[in-house]
Amino acid sequence: MAIRRGRGVAAINYPTGMNLGGDPTQALVHSTPTGNFMVTLSSVDLGQGMKQIMAQICAETIGVPTDRVVIDTADTDTGPHCMGTFASRGTHRAGNAVIQAAKEARQVMLEVAAEELEVNASDLETDGQGNIQVKGAPQKSISIFDVALSAHFKRGRSISGRGMFLIPRSYPEKETGAMKPSTCYAHACTVAEVEVDDETGEVTVLTVKNVFEIGRALNPKMVEQQLVGGSWMGISHALYETTEPYYPSRDHGGTDFNQYLMPGPGDLAETEIIVLERPSADGPFGAKGPGEMCANPQIPAVANAVFDAVGVRIDTLPITPERILRALKTQAAG
Amino acid sequence: MELRKDYFADVRKDGLHEIGQGRPRLDSPGHVTGKTAYFADRNFPGMLHLKMVRSPHHHARIRSIDTSEAEKHPGVVRVLTAKDVPHNVYTILILIQIGPEDETVLADGKVRWKGEAVVAVLAETERAAQEAAAKVKVDYEVLPAVFDMEEALKPGAPLVNEYHGQNYYLYDSGECRKVRFGDVDASFAQADHILEQSYQSSPIEHAPTETTGCVVTPEGNDRFTCYTNTQAMFFTLDNASIILQMPGSKLHFVGGTVGGGFGGKVDVIVEPIAILAAKLTGRPVCFIYSREEEMQISSPRAAEKVVIKDGVMKDGRIVARKVTGYTDAGAYSRHSPYGAQKGAAHYPGPYTIPNVWIDTYCVYTNRTPSSAMRGFGVTIGDFALEVQMDKLARLIGMDPLEFRFINAYRDGDMKAHRQPTEGAALIECMQAASRAANWPVAEKYMAMSSYRKGV
């Protein structure tokens, strides 16, 4: 009886969105009298930070700092339609809609600034700090604060925009299955290293090295929180979780966190995250949807590492000590 | 976390002002100091609590329901049964024309899974609602149940759901969603090795910190405000409008701050019955799942069975792959027909294989309906595919990572569902992983690229 060490690899891809059902999201953007920008949506923030990302996308597009943007979302009396937050679609779909709306608002903003500065709008640029200036002559400038005041009180303009993202619904061809189920794909490769106690069947995940290709890390700190959390969830799926431990029997299902097993902080592996960015052709600033994908590759990587350690295949999830011991017993008998 | 800017630098514009910056989240201080308001933080005078009477049987006919004792229980204001629900038989994907309607808001004549909602009790306190629910008498005639997908698909198996007429979802392509690409049988005949393996998963809970629920208030203007933690505002509003036969203009949904979703809050379960209760009582109504309900009543990730048959050559090329996937929908469709279809589009994984045959089935059994979860239609498939890849590599005596390089898809490669590959990056991920994990592969693989000239 011994502690045995093994490692396994898995490589995957993951689709963004759900074109098989049509996939619309709309957005509205308008400025306040003092040049702050309201983004109105009906998209839902599940805790992953959607509001923050939409604020950064709007800010980048209009050319103001992120703290000048306010997100008003998930009120059906004010927010235009969003299909929902699922299918790794939130950042991609809503982000595209916000860009389109923000571009329209930016154009009006530049037109008002052009009137105030008596130049052509096409000769203007934003400095990202809250000012609009003439290209090549930054000393000729006006603050966005003043532009918004002018639009509201003097010029009678609405600095606002409408945005929408829609991919036509794809209907699978009956006989061949030809279809366009999604847009861009995110990618990952994970190497997991485990120790398996061949006396108890217990698995300890020592390290998980994840490489994720996600199009564009719009906010790297938030990308990190999502990818690390996903990686932990993958380990949890591989080794711990189920509501029906003796599936297909319905018996012995857990009803609280005492019975439904998940790893605690001490059970989590040393986690390494490496991010590659190949911008997608159709995502906001090249972003793809890594929200779901990041929890997938750890499962087969751990399964393959268990085999590498003790030489038995567990092809049924979760990979419990009971399943490992039964397989070891069968192996020893055979 | 390490951002590897050296990869794909030629196709990326860096140096933006706000994008690419790790700005602190504006909502974090509220979350960590407990100031963020969730739907359950709403408390209205006179608010009623809704508790469900649930089926104790996996499959049974309802002979009769007697609510008289429950109605007399102190604090009980109203008891609802199927006849109170205007459009009781529904299915959520009807909004995108995927039917048939196959599920009841409150059971009518039959229950098809243990835990199915039968009667809703509204009372002044949670405790009174719970106690009264225990006094509802339902007379059941227990019917044979089926839990195993293979058993369910056999002739003569108990019929789970009469609205389908058979224990699988009928696609326009027949009993399964199909993908056909090349000629798998001819390629199997020529392959050096054939490996057929079967993989299985069990249902999984989303385990959000905040359980599913909503609070509904009747407003003075004949409208209803629903504070909810749904993941999809209008999807829920529009389905509620159908179920309640109430114009959407009467409904106002407020949400967007959710304590974890993971796909567990895209079914439309709590809102319609809570709005109906608010309408019939004229009082605010709160319906929140207990942790036990969240674990065993709300939809889990479907259990799946995946059978993969591969033909592989000694040089490492996979020449044919046949996948048969089974998704255990439980008793009702919810999002499962879509999940099985998404699986069909995902196989055979991120590899270029010239001959592919895929069948994915959505199967009905007498268990808690499954539905969307993070990685819907893909997660279990990836487990099966990537364990299979490991087995294939070892079968032909090849390093598992090098074996994947040989088969990895690249820009322009045609996928089985007939979309050309765009923006591939699998090879680069594997190269970075090779270095990070000190898992060396031959130099020719480290020199590969997802790019192809002219693509």
- What is the CATH number for B118? 3.90.1170.50
Separation CA A289–CA A185 (nearest Å): 8
Contact A215, A277 (CB under 8 A): yes
Choose the final residue of a domain: B392, B407, B422: B407
Q: In angstroms, rounded to a whole number, what is the distance separating the alpha carbons of residues A218 and A227?
A: 13
Q: How confident is the model at residue A183 (pLDDT cuts 50, 70, 90)?
A: confident
pLDDT band at B428 (very low <50, low <70, confident <90, very high): very high
Residues of chain B contacting residue A83, judged by C-beta atoms under 8 Å apart:
232, 234-235
Residue B71 burial class via C-beta count within 10 angstroms: exposed 0-12, middle 13-18, buried 19 and up: middle
CA distance B320 to A107: 53
Average pLDDT over residues B148-155: 98
Which of B370, B389, B407 marks a domain boundary?
B407
Do residue B216 and residue B105 come from a single domain?
Answer: yes
Question: What pLDDT is recorded for position A266?
Answer: 87
Can you tell me the distance from the alpha carbon of B227 to that of B224, in angstroms, rounded to the nearest whole number? 10
Within a domain: residue B153?
no
Domain count, chain B: 2
Residue A311, CA distances (Å) to A91, A197, B46, B364, B401 in order: 42, 12, 63, 35, 18
The verdict on a CB contact (< 8 Å) between A318 and B202 is yes
- Confidence at residue B229, expressed as pLDDT on a 0 to 100 scale: 98
Closest chain A C-alpha to B72 CA, distance in angstroms: 30
**Which residue in A181, A222, A262 is closest to B345 by CB distance?**
A181
Does residue B224 sit in the same domain as residue B124?
yes
Q: Say yes or no: B186 contacts chain A, CB-CB below 8 A.
A: no
Gyration radius from chain B CA atoms: 26
Instruction: Tell me, yes or no, whether B200 and B211 share the same domain.
Output: no
Percent of chain B with pLDDT over 90: 98
> What is the nearest CA distance from A76 to chain B, expressed in angstroms?
5
Q: For residue A189, which residues of chain B lie inside 8 Å, CB to CB?
A: 426, 429-430, 432-433
Question: B416 burial class (0-12, 13-18, 19+ CB within 10 angstroms)?
Answer: buried
B156: burial class by Cβ within 10 Å (0-12, 13-18, 19+)?
A: exposed
Q: Which stretch of A28-37, A86-95, B153-162 has the lowest confidence by average pLDDT?
A: A86-95
Three state DSSP letters for B333-350? CCCHHHHHHHHHHHCCCC
CA distance to B218, B224, B257, B269, per residue, from B47 (Å): 11, 14, 21, 20
Looking at chain B, which residue has its C-alpha nearest residue A66?
A: B18
A232 touches chain B (CB under 8 A): no
Question: Is B325 inside any structural domain?
Answer: yes
Contacts of residue A75 in chain B, CB cutoff 8 Å?
A: 252-256
In this complex, do B233 and A82 lie within 8 Å of one another by their Cβ atoms? yes
Q: Is B392 inside any structural domain? A: yes
Q: What is the pLDDT of residues B369-386, one digit of tens each?
A: 999 999 999 999 999 999
Task: Tell whether B403 and B268 lie within a shared domain.
Answer: no
Q: Is residue B242 part of a domain?
A: yes
Q: What is the mean pLDDT of residues B193-206?
A: 98
Of the candidates B115, B167, B175, the one whose C-alpha atom is nearest the C-alpha of residue B146 is B167
When scoring B3, B18, B431 by the number of chain A Cβ atoms within 10 A, the one with the most, hence best to mutate, is: B18
Is 60 exceeded by the pLDDT of residue A322?
yes
Please tell me whether residues B271 and B387 are part of one structural domain.
no
Q: How far apart are CA B253 and CA A42, in angstroms?
A: 10
Indicate if B342 and B258 belong to the same structural domain.
no
Query: B261-307 pLDDT, tens per residue?
Result: 999 999 999 999 999 999 999 999 999 999 999 999 999 999 999 99
**What residue in A sits closest to B15 (Cα-Cα)?**
A60
In a domain? residue B86: yes
Mean residue pLDDT of chain A comes to: 96
Q: Do B12 and A279 touch (CB under 8 A)?
A: yes
Q: What is the pLDDT of residue B454?
A: 57
* Shortest CA distance from B430: residue in chain A: A189
pLDDT, tens only, A187-215: 999 999 999 999 999 999 999 999 999 99
Q: Are residues B352 and B292 in the same domain?
A: no
Average of per-residue pLDDT across A104-131:
98
Nearest-angstrom CA–CA distance, B103 and B113: 11
Contact B236, B263 (CB under 8 A): no
Domains (ranges, CATH) in chain A? 3-16+183-333 (3.30.365.10), 19-165 (3.30.365.10)
- In this structure, are B390 and B348 located in the same domain? yes
Residue B398 touches chain A, beta carbons under 8 Å = no
Residues spanned by the domain of B360: 177-204+300-407
Percent residues over pLDDT 70 in chain A: 100
Number of helices and strands in chain A (H, E): 6, 11
Give yes or no for residue B455 having a pLDDT over 60: no
- Give the whole-angstrom CA distance, residue B93 versus residue A232: 31
Which CATH number does the domain housing residue B314 bear?
A: 3.30.365.10
CB proximity B163 to A under 8 Å = no
Task: Let me know whether B198 and B246 are in one domain.
Answer: no
B164: in domain: no
What does the pLDDT look like over B332-361, one tens digit per residue? 999 999 999 999 999 999 999 999 999 999
Question: How do strand B76-80 and strand B117-123 relate by DSSP bridges?
Answer: antiparallel
Contact A76 B233 (CB under 8 A): yes
**In the predicted model, is pLDDT for residue A157 greater than 80?**
yes
Residue B120's SS3 state is strand
Burial A61-87 (b: 16+ CB within 10 A, else e): bbbbbbebbebebbbbeebbbbbbbbb
Answer whether A6 touches B (CB < 8 Å).
no
Domain membership flag for residue B26: no
Q: Does A241 touch chain B (CB under 8 A)?
A: yes
Percentage of chain B modeled with pLDDT above 70: 99
The predicted pLDDT at position A112 comes to 98
Q: How far apart are CA A89 and CA A17, in angstroms?
A: 5
Count Cβ atoms below 10 Å from residue A227 Cβ, excluding itself.
Answer: 25
CA dist B103 → A126, B17, B59, B244, B410 (Å): 54, 50, 14, 14, 43
Least confident of A45-49, B247-251, B434-438: A45-49
Determine, yes or no, domain membership for B221: yes
- Look at B20 and A217 and tell me if their CB atoms are within 8 Å: yes
Complex ipTM: 0.97
Task: Say if residue B211 is in the same domain as residue B75.
Answer: yes
pLDDT digits (tens, 9 = 90+) for A244-267: 999 999 999 999 999 999 998 888
Of B263, B296, B329, the residue that ends a domain is B296
Tell which B residues from 21 to 60 touch A, by Cβ distance under 8 Å.
21-27, 31, 58
A–B CB contacts, 8 A cutoff, strictly below: 415
Of all residues in chain B, the one with the smallest CA distance to A65 is: B18
Residues B307 and B391 in one domain: yes
> A170, A278, A312, A319: best mutation site toward chain B, by most B Cβ within 10 Å?
A278
Residue B285 and residue B402 in one domain: no
